[in-house]
Structure 1
Amino acid sequence: MINSRFSFDEQSQENAKLKVIGVGGGGGNAINNMIDRGLNNVEYIALNTDAQVLKNNMANVTIQVGKSLTSGLGAGARPEVGREALEENRHEIEETIEGADMIFVTAGMGGGTGTGGAPVVAGIAKRKGILTVGVVTTPFICEGRIRMKYAIDGINELKKNCDTVIVIPNERLLELCSEDTSMMEAFAMANDVLYSATRGISDLILMPGLINLDFADVRTTMLDGGAAIMGSATASGNDRAEIAAREAINSPLLDGVSIRGARNVLVNISAGSTMGMKEVTTATSIIQQEAGDDAEIILGTVLDETYGDELRVTVIATGFELSDDSKGSRITNGKTTVKEAVSRTSAVAEQNSTEQRKTLPSAPVIGSRFG
């Protein structure tokens, strides 16, 4: 049985105003990558304490934050400085985000400006009633234990101020790397995942398709969404829909966490005009089976000829029940449930183990309405 909600409409949702705010160096790099890859119809805002880095950003709006505090020299990898720097420019940020319906806050967690500043930006947006989604990364283990601890603490602050937070664990990207992958290529992969997560949501609102969602559908799914997880995959050939759907719900970025138990599952199926209704049904059925009959599938398709023979499936599952009963600790189809993963993440943060690998967050995506 498929529980789905969608409408047939080929008109894009032109009235919804989306803004992407990149905080710190990692957030700024993510913005540049999104612009390079042609993620259009959104406004980009880059915030940084480092004046030199900010000069190279392609965002529509750039704001040097904390001038009096840092003299334009950065936050020195200190989150408390990043937080104070953003507070110094609170009024300017409030004016810049005015009129937005939805804001993506992106940052590389673990440094100074992004870790300390992203929660401040999210809080400003949330208090204005703007749908606020965080899309951030955690460090590679080789970046050190302290940086990882800062990242976890920053995510815990961010989730208090966002409707949903999508966390990309950089360390999991190593599973997708070859032995010859350079550090620059690895960080570029992280930026590409941030791009995919943002585009997977924004395209549903802004791009035309045979099955369109409006902004209200996305808002209902993401608003106070609690714990959320995201997976995305692309495939080509005769079985592309089945392959992409299965790979999306088994993505390394999910870190072994199942989508079962989600209240809502937002699904974006993107391809060229050759996309068939049977392909849409196949992909949706696979996702519904994994999520369970109680989950509502919120489906949208995007027609984009740049995909060529490829078809992409992006899945964002929200609204997990994190009650304290025993159901939250079970294993589903060999995967960890969201509650158990979140519990492990919290335990890691509190333990502050000297073993670097134990500091890696177990859940790739952490929502804002628990803990």
Structure 2
Amino acid sequence: MRLRMEKDIKFMAKKKSSKIKKKVKAEKKPESKELVHRTRIRVIGVGGGGGSIVSEIARNLKRVDFVVANTDAKALKEASKYTKILQFGQETTGGLGCGMNAKIGQKAAKDDKAKIAKLFRGIDLCLLVSSLGGGTGSGAAPEFAKIGREAGAMVFGIFTLPFKFEGGKKSYLAKNSLKKLIQSLNAVSIIPNENIFKIIDKKTPLKEAFSTINRRLSENLRGLVEMIYLPGLINIDFADVRTILDGRGKLTYLNSAESQGPNRVDEVLKELLKSPLNEYNIEGAEKILFNITSSQNIGMKEVEQVSKTISDFNRRAKIIFGVSQDNDYKDKIRISLLAVGCGREDRPKAGSPKAKKPQPLPQREKPKKKHKPKARPKKKTKKPSLNKKSASTSVLTEAPSEEEPDRVLTRRNALDLRKAVEEVEEEMEAKEKKWEIPAFLRRKAKNNEQASK
């Protein structure tokens, strides 16, 4: 009996110890999961234009959540099945659009702030896409950006500007909306719709033309997503992206390019650094992030050439780069580039002659008007001779400045004016005599010559 009791006790003790170990392991597992943070990226299209862009991009991109947000219930029905739908501002618009009224779009977003805030919960990076110039996009997009920033997400805005033929009203709404957006965005990329004519033929159908822009945007976003998610030989993660995007309202250049063949590096760099959709390049960029993807045959010289070419745009820039190897690329090479802090403002400062020429012109005109009236009251006798000989525009402009001191003198003393007039008359008579003397001498010389003959 004692032996059985001892065996039972040992058996029960083993069971308890095994249960305790299992509990410890179960407690440790969630701790390891918490240490590995999965970056969450969400693309939100605001308004009709932004929704159509996101709907087309969603078909080609993975690992990213897509949301189409609009006040127009009819437009939301046309959204892609790969996207989630958010209708806001129903009380304000009654399920219709904003009718190119940005104030209505802004009010619609403010009224449903709590609903919009849910889109940004747990999101690390939000890509806000909209076609500015309409009521919903121009009015609601700034509110979306503000709510996203308050939620703690990094917000990168990608916006298109209206065509010139759409009128000045749309252009005004777009520019006004951009000013508000910059205050809440970490980074912003601007694509004027007018630049579409650089990459398509004028006979291209409208729907196909917009699809061309959407495909390019899709490729650029794919490059950014791959930088964050895919491991590499020299790895880039979201911490690097956060470092580059940290800031407020910085103009950003995002582009991806691919090439193959013996001159693949030269060709890919040309396409990478000159995007036809943007009106600016990476010149003056403060922070640069790029990733090179190729097969295992990529050489050190190729990596050096790419890095040197990009860094030459600004040697003081903070640069982070990565290298990924994919055997499916074979002889291809792909580069994805994200440059922050570049833009139009750096170009005129870099030393363009157009900015320097207009500055000295007003400086030259002002001293002429100031110095000439001071020196000319002493040379009053030369006025009639100048007026007789020439009638240039410079003399006409100088004439009023010369009359000002005379008016001041007449007001002070009439006697001084009479003396001045008499002096002028005497000087004129003396000049006339001087002008006539050479004529007399010539006549005498002619008479003497005739007499001698």
TM-score, normalised relative to structure 1: 0.77
User: Which of the two has greater strand per residue?
Assistant: 1
1:271/1:260 CA distance change after superposition, 3 Å: same
Pairing of 1:27-66 with structure 2 (within 5 A): 27-37=50-60, 39-57=61-79, 58-66=81-89
Asked whether 1:247 is paired with 2:271, we answer: yes
Greater RCO, CA 8 A, separation 6+: 1
Out of 72-81 and 278-287, give the one that drifted further.
278-287
Letter in 2 for 1:136: F
Deviation readout 1:113-140 (Å, 9 max, x if unpaired): 1111111111111112211100111112
Pairing of 1:135-146 with structure 2 (within 5 A): 135-146=158-169
**Shift of residue 209 of structure 1?**
2.6
The answer to whether the 8 Å contact 1:258/1:335 transfers is no
**Shift of residue 296 of structure 1?**
2.6
Letter in 2 for 1:228: T
**Shift of residue 65 of structure 1?**
0.9
Asked whether 1:297 is paired with 2:294, we answer: no
Counterpart among 316, 327, 350 of residue 330 in structure 1: 350
**Shift of residue 180 of structure 1?**
3.0
Counterpart among 190, 207, 213 of residue 190 in structure 1: 213
Q: What secondary structure, in the 3-state scheme, does the structure 2 residue paired with 1:94 have?
A: helix
- What is the distance in 1 between the residues matched to 2:297 and 2:48? 39
Deviation readout 1:245-281 (Å, 9 max, x if unpaired): 12221222342x3423222111133445665544333
Alignment partner, residue 101 of structure 1: 124
Out of 20-29 and 233-242, give the one that drifted further.
233-242
1:171/1:273 CA distance change after superposition, 3 Å: farther
Letter in 2 for 1:314: S
Pairing of 1:66-215 with structure 2 (within 5 A): 66-215=89-238
**Shift of residue 25 of structure 1?**
1.2
1:118/1:272 CA distance change after superposition, 3 Å: farther
Q: What secondary structure, in the 3-state scheme, does the structure 1 residue paired with 2:55 have?
A: helix
Q: What secondary structure, in the 3-state scheme, does the structure 2 residue paired with 1:227 have?
A: strand
1:44/1:231 CA distance change after superposition, 3 Å: closer
Which ranges of structure 1 fall in alignment gaps of 5 or more residues? 1-12, 337-371
**Shift of residue 144 of structure 1?**
2.1
- What is the distance in 2 between the residues matched to 1:73 and 1:24? 11
User: Which of the two has greater helix per residue?
Assistant: 2
The answer to whether the 8 Å contact 1:31/1:59 transfers is no
Which ranges of structure 2 fall in alignment gaps of 5 or more residues? 1-35, 356-453
- What is the distance in 1 between the residues matched to 2:329 and 2:59? 16
1:306/1:63 CA distance change after superposition, 3 Å: farther
Letter in 2 for 1:155: L
Counterpart among 254, 264, 270 of residue 230 in structure 1: 254
The answer to whether the 8 Å contact 1:168/1:190 transfers is no
- What is the distance in 2 between the residues matched to 1:182 and 1:224? 39
The answer to whether the 8 Å contact 1:233/1:248 transfers is yes
- What is the distance in 2 between the residues matched to 1:192 and 1:224? 28
**Shift of residue 29 of structure 1?**
1.2
Alignment partner, residue 449 of structure 2: none
The answer to whether the 8 Å contact 2:281/2:342 transfers is no
* Matched-pair identity in %: 33
State the superposition RMSD in angstroms. Answer: 2.8
- What is the distance in 2 between the residues matched to 1:310 and 1:243? 11
The answer to whether the 8 Å contact 2:55/2:83 transfers is no
1:327/1:314 CA distance change after superposition, 3 Å: closer
Out of 238-247 and 18-27, give the one that drifted further.
238-247
The answer to whether the 8 Å contact 1:232/1:312 transfers is yes
Counterpart among 18, 21, 43 of residue 20 in structure 1: 43
- What is the distance in 2 between the residues matched to 1:308 and 1:26? 38
Out of 111-120 and 246-255, give the one that drifted further.
246-255
Q: What secondary structure, in the 3-state scheme, does the structure 1 residue paired with 2:319 have?
A: strand
